[in-house]
Each structure stands twice: as structure tokens, then as C-alpha cells.
Structure 1
């Protein structure tokens, strides 16, 4: 073997000089050299021509996620991981893909990595078992990999950490301006893609783990870009917004960098950054990711999914959302029906669905009985897949999630929590859904130049909008659209137009209270769909191909405050009368997945049907 070390690492995209000097390893360890050589020799993992094809994430509908965030307590990883264990998961759930742990927030890898930080002890190679079985079964395999958040990396290399305002290294978050991504993350992802041939990665702890960095590199770059000498230290200080935006752009560059590097070396490797371009990061997609994804709140999950799904559905990229299969507060397994109600919120918006189950500290699936729960949920989802996956919303009400307003107000770089505008938005969303309005949550990049597509645009609580977008909304209100303003912030922004007389269609309310439903009826007196008989029904009018589909989700029950044992029953609601405004009488309306034709009454441009009850989630398919 006569190749130089530099030449040998080139196929994986390693830069030997950078790796060994840029704040990383001072010299190559034996483990590092052997790992790099092994990965280069393996290249792209061998694939048997007889293996069935695996679905791309962009086409996937149903997945299952496992992780356990390996730590220094894990010294027998793989001891109980067997092909039979993996086969049982696949046989029970029949997923399109499986995500498993490979590096959690603690920074220890749960497979015998040669280029990262392995857990203390292994029995065999558990990752190879997962890969061998999923390959033979035609199931895509994704890795749960903690990105920015890596306790072990910053403990070993404090110079990789984001530095706080007092000059102290963060004990969890790496800097998106530092060498971590090139020295550890990209090489490890290439090991996973090359040596193991995994299909992709779901990068956890990424946007929401990113912190403002007062380190030398970041502050120097900020000064060079802005000319600002005094670095702001707190909200309200001069140039604080510019400082925060600088870090947001740094994160975007970091994601694009590792996505593009992996595509260059392993073009089929699929990358998803958890919560990127979502409710945490309400902006246009600016990286070549394979899809968008996030794990919504494990508690009060129905309301969390209502919000998160509507922030993803119009981003123009395939997406899915994940339930935690257990409560964070009680740590107890949720019953199948509780997960079905959570899944219904995602499916009714056209998304894919996955659920998270725990692994034991040796990496084995914790409780085989939990897979029986997931099997029930999977059947529920599959029954509805032909009538929901990839459906698109019929424009009714647009609820503005202002990127500019949120980023000005939020105390964090990337998270929905903390902005008053989002608090008002979520309250308004709940009230609008309980009054059976079809609602989309949209940001500036989705509305600019297209405002006329929505009869009503709701501006909830934002105290700042970019002037050109504010003016576009005012023009929209003058040319036939209606603005519904909630709170003093929006009222002040549009005060000139609101007091200008009848030329502008603007309705303003002080808050989301008892008068709010009256205001909704004023701005949209004739919605596409009206449901009479129960408030606890979310209605989503959508198109699937050329067919109108009406998604009815039963949201009754104590999902905001579930009992200690979880929700074991969702009681049916009804009877319901559903009226649909159409240009002509429909040929038929069928309730799916029940396959039940419904009797239709046609009068005055409305098709009306009666449902004795709504169990949990049904779709009305309108043939025209």
C-alpha cells in the first residue's frame, strides 16, 4: 500500500492537513488512521443485486424511530441486537423506513465508529445487523445523529464550543463557525454512508441547539461583515438584531456545507436536519435537504401537531412529523388510540408520520409489546394513506407567521417559543379550528406576490413587519382581500388604512376572546365547508390530484392534560351535518377509509350530507 495518507483520505472528503491541525487532532491516532483506511477500502458498502429497492425519503409515508443517546454508561452495546429483533419490528410495523440511534446528544456513538467517539464497549456491530436486515427487506435505514449538540466533542475540544457572552465555552453546543463540522461530523457521516451504506441521516439537536457564539472566529467575521466594533451582549443593545441574524445565516451556511459535502461524495445519501425550515425556523428552504421533519411535543401533542404540521405543509419539500410514543412527564407508553389521534393531525395535512420508541442502554428495542401498539397505529395510517398523502390545502384562511416579526422578537435563534406573535397565533389557530375553518400557517416567502389566493389573511400579534410586505398586505386589503388583525401591534401597523374608510377591508380585534368567532364570521361568512353538530372537529379542505377531499379529525378528549395512564378512548362525536359549497352537484361523496357512500342533498349551491358519528379521522372524497 503505497498511497499517501492524504491521498487515501481524499475519497471520503477528508482534508488531512485540516483534520490534523485546525483545532482538531494534533496527530492521527491509530484508531483514526485505521478507521479512515477501512472506510476508504470499503468505499460504498456492497449491495447485493438481489436486494429489493428501498424507498426514497421523499416518497415515504410511514416510519419508526429508535434512539437512546448512548453515554459513558454503555459498555455492552449490541449484546441483544439480533437479526430476529429487527425482523420483528419490520414484520409488525411494515415501515417505509427505520431511524435508529448512532450518536445522540451525549456525543458517544452507539456503533463501533473508527472516526468518532464510540461508546465504551460493544458486543459485535449492532449497526451492521440493522443494515443487513433492512437491506434484505427493502427498508430504508436512517441514522439519528446529534449535530450541533455534542457533549463529548466539546468536553474533549472546548475550542470547538460556542462561547457565551462571559467568554465561557458552552458545555453542549458546538460552534457552527468552528472545525467540528469538518473534523468530526462530515467524516463520521461519510463513514456511515460509505462503510455501512445507510440511506441517510436525521440530524437532531441542530437548529434548536445552535447558540450565539462570542468566540474569536465569529466575532471577527461579524465585524468584517458589518463594520460594527462593539459586539452586542443582550437584547435591545445596538445591532442586536444584526448579531442574531448573523448567527442564523451562519447556521444556514453550516447546514448547506455538510449537505453539499455529503452529496458530493455520496450522491444518494439523504440528509434531514430536524426542525430546519419549520415552526422553529419559519423561512424558505435554503439547503438541498431530502425532506423536513421534527418531533412535536410529547405532551399536549394534538395542539403541537396542529401547529407544526401547518408550518411545514406549504414549504414545497416532502415532510413528516414524529410522535413520542410515551409521555415526557410520566414516561409511560401512550395507548394506540392516543397516537392515532396525534397521527391524524399529520395525515390530514398531507404529511408522513413516524413515532419514537426507546432503546435500552445496550441498544436493544426496549419492549417488544410496544411494537404491537405501533402495529395498530401503522394499520390506522395505512388505511388512510390513499386519501391523504401529499394532499394540498384549498386556500381559505392564511394565518401569518411573520419571519421578520418573529426573529425580531424571539430570544432564541431558532425556536417558536418566546415570541408574543406566536403565542397569539397558536391561540387563534385553536379557535379557528374549533369553529371549523380551514387554516394554513404561512410566512412572507409563501405569501409575497400571492396574497390574492386567500380570501382572508390573519395577522396575529406581530409588532413588526418589513415595510414592503406591510404595504403589500395593505394593497391586498384594498383590492378585495380581507385582513383580520389581532392585538394592538397589528392595529398600529395598519392604523392609516384602518382609519381610511371603506376602501380597505380590515377587521381588528383586541385579542382572541369571545368576540373572535363573531369576527371570523364577518371576514369569511361563507366558508367552503360548514360542520354543525360538534366543535371538536378539525376540518381541512384539500385537493388530492383533481379530487376535493375533506379531512375530519375528532379532537375531543383531554389531549392537553391526559390522564396518568394516557388516553385509552376517543369518544365519537356527532351526528354531524356537513355542507360543502360547490359550483355544481357532485357525482358522489364517499366516506373513507370506511368506503361508505353518503346520501347527498343538493340545494342553493351546497351539497349536504349527514354523518351519524365521526369516530376519529375520516375523509370525505368528493367526485365532481
Structure 2
């Protein structure tokens, strides 16, 4: 069996058993599972155990089993997966356990009004972890000889806790008379961080205890140490994982994969194999749609898994298995040149944890739209053909000099030490682009401009090439002193008048620092208009004129520059036709794009160039330190392999 740390492709099935179930496991058979495993050949399966309702799908002596169990599903899945050499993990809801809170209110997280959580969230300060979670996991691990667990409903389900135990812990830690109840109260941010640290203590507690119980267990907590928790890793997770949005999935994965790839732990992302059309029960995604989603993850070196729900009786029909098998085959053909690759540093896009935690009122969530600016800038950079890594401060501070350019997407706050590190990075020859009035203000002394007052919310139009379009919002008025204006904005779509400065660039030491003085990321996230993208291109050329790869092709092709075993890997991923709008939930056709021309800067002429998965040699032209490659067509995903 492949360890989870080495695993590449998996399947996830959960049902969230409840008190109303009547047929759990009734239709499960060894033959059904045999057929699935033979066709799909996953490295692992994650199967249902306990969902957010708190009821288990197996007969438990520790908690509350669903009254609708007809067959022991886990026992059958364990028997067959062992026969096939496939690892078996469980889906288990952690913090979110409704029935536990109903039966034991002393286990509950309390609201600011002093009442047990109405949704069934447990307290990480209370005895739930010792009296139910750990004993029940030991029971199920021992009973079925499982390989580990994917703990759901954990970090993202945690809310500020006003239980007696939490309040007492806060008083002892701070000397305060009470805990803050709202963002208007003093010490609110400190209170949120206190709750975050407590979750990490809770997480460490059950992970350490279960690893002592069985050192071979491999475990994760869904979304911990992802963009929802942009903090240094402290808990002993064996891998990190998350199930991204079932709708607008490609865009969600584009962001999350680029963050997870820099956490330095084995990681995977989980696609939902179905979507929820408005007013309708779930509809399943096609193999084409899932292959496009998988390509995003493969391009960043991660593992991939797909989530399905069997019927309530556990049946998985052959037509669904056929989709799984087609997606699995697509991934396997690319595994050698996708899994566990390393980034070739090009553009570093900063996800500032300092800015994020300064503005969020949640513990482990980005539902407030705080990441919209960084996602907007990411989309624009990818659609310009740049290879982009998303990094938080602690991930990049010791390797700034590896990146030719760092982009700050509407970052409003930085620690002084990190700000100074960025300035020194530029002085030593790096390039920095600050986007947004607040990000620019952080470098007021270095930008070579005079700031005039505060940002003003205005209508603005940008001229990019032969197209003019809107880029309204808060703009900072500036006057260049030593800087050079490299873009202008206008109050209407009449560019005959002089307009105002929209972007500047100046030299600083051996490097360059530039700024765009409006909210480009926020606006691009909302509208994805080409004139904004082209405006960003003109600015990026000033700070990063010589990327390793230059792509001539449509904006729907993402470029990811990776390396493995001394080979340069250029992942090309076609986003054309991706599902975005909720009125179009299922995609069954991805239009091919091409021809694509790539110019690759190399130290020397390569010995061979070929395309995966076709494994065909690609003709190329070597001239002046550049390799020119033309691909007639790209369907969903391909990897150009360049050997020195």
C-alpha cells in the first residue's frame, strides 16, 4: 500500500448519517466495491463514519449510532480495500457534532449570549475531545484496522467560545474581567487569536494521543494550514487537505493549490464530483469538468481526490464508476511529471497574514471576501501567462531573493521587519509591485512620488492599447518626484485630456519598485475585463521584463513552471469553458486552444523536449538563449518536459 504522504489519487464518500436514516449499508456488497476498485485503482478511499449531525454510520459503543444501520459498511469496505491493497481512511466530523451538544450541553461552545451553540459546535476548551472524540476514534481505528482519518467540520467550524471554561481560561491568561463580545470591544483581535491558539492545542492533543495509540495512523484536519489558516504549522498533521467549492471550482482551486503547494507538507485537494443547480437536487459533474479541475492541482504538484455521495443505502452505480475511472486515468498519465514537483520561482504573490488577521472577524474562514483582491490579481497574472506562487510572510521571508518579483495585492498592513526585508530585497536587485492605495502607502518613502491627501472613491477609466474601460474605486492621487508615470486614469472614456497618474515605477538601489494606486485586484475579481488585464501587463513588463517563459496564446491558458529530477516542466492548463456561473453548473465540453507559441529562456540548448501525456518529441528552435516551441493545440492539460 502507498502511504498517504506518497498518495496521488483518491476517492471520498460520505453520507453524514443522521437519526432519520433507515437503510445505511443496505445495498453495499463486496462485488460493488471490487468493481469500483478494479476500474478506478485509487491509492486510498475515505469512507463515511461520522458527519456533522454526530451520528455514526457504524455500530458504536462510545457515541450515538444512526438507528438506520442495516449493514456494517465500514467492515465491508475495509475487507475489500485490504484485498486490493488500498488504504482506507474515514470521514469524521470533529468540532461540529450536533447530537453531542444536544446530549451534553457541557460539551458545547457557547454563544456571546451565554447559550449552547444552536448549530451543534462543541467547545475546544471542554471535555468533548477527551470524552467522545478521542475514545470514539480509538474505537473505530481499532475495530476496523483503519489507516487514518480526514477530520471534517474542524477548524472552519470553530467560533469564538463563551463557555464557562473558555471565559475562565481567558481570565487566567489575560487578567481581564470578561471576554470581548463584539468587534467593537477592546482586545477583540486578541480574543480571536486566543481562540485560534486553543484550537491548535485541541488539534495537537487529539493528534498526539492518536499517534501514540497507533503510530501508523495518518491524519489531517480539513483546511487547517490552508489559506483559511495562514499560519506556521504547529500541529503534527501527516498531510493537509481541503474540499474546495463545488461551483466556480477551477478558480477556487487555482488559488488554494498555489497556497498549499508552499506549506511544505504532503497535500491534496478534493473536488466535489457533483454540483447543486438552483432549486434542484445534486447533479454529477462530467469527466471533462473534473479533468479540468484536476489539472489545476496537478500543475502545482498536489494529490487529487474526488468526493461523491453514494445513495443512502450505499450504492454506487457503474455509470458513476466510469466517470471516476476516466478521471483517474487522466491523472495517472500525468503523475510522473506532476506529483510532488517543485516550483521554479517567478512571481511571488503575497498573501499577508498580518493584513488578513487585522481585518477578519472570523477564526478560520475567508467568507468575508477578504481574499477577493488577491484572487483578482492572481487571475489577471495567470491570464497574462505568468507562473505564480501564493505565499504568506513566514513562507517567503527567508527566500525573497529566489523570486524575481514580489506582488502585494491591496495589502494594507505589514510587520515593520517584513516591510524592511522587502525594501532590502529591492535594493539588492529585486522588484516589487504594490497594488492599491493602502499597499502603496506602505512604501511612501520609497516610491519616489508625493502623496496628495487620502484615497478618493472615483469613477476612473484606463487606456490599455486600443481599448479603454472602467477601473473605478478608491484611488490615491500622487505626483511623481523621482518616479516615472507608467499609466494614467481618466474621469471618462475620453483620453484626450491629461488624466491622473495611475501607476509609477522607480529605481531603488539595484532594483525597481512600482505601484498601481487603485484597487485593481478587487475590480478584476468582479469583472475580469481585458483592459484591466492588459494594463497590469504593461506595469509587470516594467518590473519583470524577462520571465523564463513567454506565452503567445489566449488568456485561458495557465502556465506553471515546475521542476523535478533536474527536468524543467512547463504545465499548460486550459481554463476555457470552465464553470463559473451558478446558472451553468455542469460542463461537458472543453474547447481546445491553439496554436500556442512559447519562448523559454535557458542556460543552454536542451537535449530533448517532449510533451506529456502523449510522450511525443516536440520540434523546437534554439536561438539567442531562447527555445521557441509551437504547440498546434492544447485540449485540457499538457506538460512540456525540457531535459538539459
Please give the TM-score of this superposition, normalised by the length of structure 2: 0.86
Matched, 1:90 2:95: no
CA-to-aligned-CA distance 1:56-99 (integer Å, 9 cap, x gap): 10010000010111111113322111111211210121000001
Matched, 1:180 2:134: no
2:83 aligned to which of 128, 132, 136 = 136
Task: Tell me the secondary structure at the aligned position of residue 212 of structure 2.
Answer: helix
Q: Is the 8 A contact 1:576 1:611 kept in 2?
A: yes
Matched, 1:460 2:467: no
Please report the RMSD computed on the Cα atoms of aligned residues, expressed in angstroms. 1.4
Question: Structure 1 residues 257, 565: closer, same or farther in 2, change over 3 A?
Answer: closer
Question: Structure 1 residues 121, 557: closer, same or farther in 2, change over 3 A?
Answer: closer
Match of 1:594 in 2: 614
Question: Which structure is higher in helix share?
Answer: 1
Q: Is the 8 A contact 1:61 1:351 kept in 2?
A: yes
* 1-structure distance, mates of 2:398, 2:289: 40
Task: Tell me the secondary structure at the aligned position of residue 496 of structure 1.
Answer: coil
Deviation at 1:449, TM superposition (A): 2.2
Deviation at 1:146, TM superposition (A): 0.5
How do 1:127-206 residues align onto structure 2 when only pairs under 5 Å count? 127-171=74-118, 172-206=120-154
Deviation at 1:533, TM superposition (A): 2.1
Question: Structure 1 residues 565, 416: closer, same or farther in 2, change over 3 A?
Answer: closer
1:582 aligned to which of 586, 593, 602 = 602
Task: Tell me the secondary structure at the aligned position of residue 276 of structure 2.
Answer: coil
* 2-structure distance, mates of 1:508, 1:226: 41
2:519 aligned to which of 511, 517, 522 = 511
Q: Is the 8 A contact 2:5 2:266 kept in 1?
A: yes
2:331 aligned to which of 381, 391, 410 = 381
* 2-structure distance, mates of 1:227, 1:403: 27
Task: Tell me the secondary structure at the aligned position of residue 59 of structure 1.
Answer: coil
Task: Tell me the secondary structure at the aligned position of residue 458 of structure 1.
Answer: strand
Q: Which blocks of at least 5 consecutive residues in structure 1 are unaligned? A: 1-53
Match of 2:224 in 1: 276
1:613 aligned to which of 633, 638, 644 = 633
1:553 aligned to which of 547, 557, 573 = 573
Q: Is the 8 A contact 2:19 2:68 kept in 1?
A: no
Task: Tell me the secondary structure at the aligned position of residue 635 of structure 2.
Answer: coil
2:433 aligned to which of 477, 481, 484 = 484
* 2-structure distance, mates of 1:191, 1:204: 18
Matched, 1:344 2:295: yes
Deviation at 1:283, TM superposition (A): 1.6
Task: Tell me the secondary structure at the aligned position of residue 438 of structure 2.
Answer: helix
How do 1:9-408 residues align onto structure 2 when only pairs under 5 Å count? 54-171=1-118, 172-329=120-277, 331-362=282-313, 364-408=314-358
* 2-structure distance, mates of 1:304, 1:565: 15
* 2-structure distance, mates of 1:536, 1:145: 38
CA-to-aligned-CA distance 1:121-147 (integer Å, 9 cap, x gap): 322322111111111111000000001
* 2-structure distance, mates of 1:370, 1:285: 37
Task: Tell me the secondary structure at the aligned position of residue 163 of structure 1.
Answer: coil
Task: Tell me the secondary structure at the aligned position of residue 551 of structure 1.
Answer: strand
Deviation at 1:580, TM superposition (A): 0.5
Match of 2:503 in 1: none
Task: Tell me the secondary structure at the aligned position of residue 169 of structure 1.
Answer: coil
CA-to-aligned-CA distance 1:412-461 (integer Å, 9 cap, x gap): 100123253x2110000000000010100001111122211111111111
Deviation at 1:572, TM superposition (A): 0.5
Q: Is the 8 A contact 2:613 2:639 kept in 1?
A: yes
How many residues are treated as equivalent by the alignment? 569
CA-to-aligned-CA distance 1:288-309 (integer Å, 9 cap, x gap): 1110100011000000000110
CA-to-aligned-CA distance 1:270-300 (integer Å, 9 cap, x gap): 1111000001111222111110100011000
* 1-structure distance, mates of 2:184, 2:608: 59
Question: Structure 1 residues 283, 188: closer, same or farther in 2, change over 3 A?
Answer: same
Deviation at 1:565, TM superposition (A): 6.4
1:429 aligned to which of 378, 381, 385 = 378
* 4+ residue runs over 6 A deviation: none
Q: Is the 8 A contact 1:107 1:117 kept in 2?
A: yes
Question: Which structure is higher in strand share?
Answer: 2
2:543 aligned to which of 499, 523, 533 = 523
Deviation at 1:564, TM superposition (A): 4.3
Deviation at 1:492, TM superposition (A): 1.5
Q: Is the 8 A contact 1:409 1:419 kept in 2?
A: no
* 2-structure distance, mates of 1:442, 1:207: 20
Q: Is the 8 A contact 1:165 1:214 kept in 2?
A: yes
Task: Tell me the secondary structure at the aligned position of residue 56 of structure 1.
Answer: coil
Task: Tell me the secondary structure at the aligned position of residue 57 of structure 1.
Answer: coil
Q: Is the 8 A contact 2:241 2:268 kept in 1?
A: yes
CA-to-aligned-CA distance 1:304-337 (integer Å, 9 cap, x gap): 0001101100111100001101113351111110
* 2-structure distance, mates of 1:274, 1:170: 21
Q: Is the 8 A contact 1:394 1:542 kept in 2?
A: yes
Task: Tell me the secondary structure at the aligned position of residue 283 of structure 2.
Answer: coil
Task: Tell me the secondary structure at the aligned position of residue 548 of structure 1.
Answer: strand
Q: Is the 8 A contact 2:230 2:392 kept in 1?
A: yes
Question: Structure 1 residues 517, 228: closer, same or farther in 2, change over 3 A?
Answer: farther
Q: Is the 8 A contact 2:566 2:643 kept in 1?
A: no
Q: Is the 8 A contact 2:595 2:633 kept in 1?
A: yes
Match of 1:450 in 2: 399
Match of 1:46 in 2: none
Please give the TM-score of this superposition, normalised by the length of structure 1: 0.89
Deviation at 1:464, TM superposition (A): 1.5
Q: Is the 8 A contact 1:588 1:600 kept in 2?
A: no
Q: Which blocks of at least 5 consecutive residues in structure 2 are unaligned? A: 450-481, 483-506, 521-531
Q: Is the 8 A contact 1:410 1:417 kept in 2?
A: no
Task: Tell me the secondary structure at the aligned position of residue 36 of structure 2.
Answer: helix
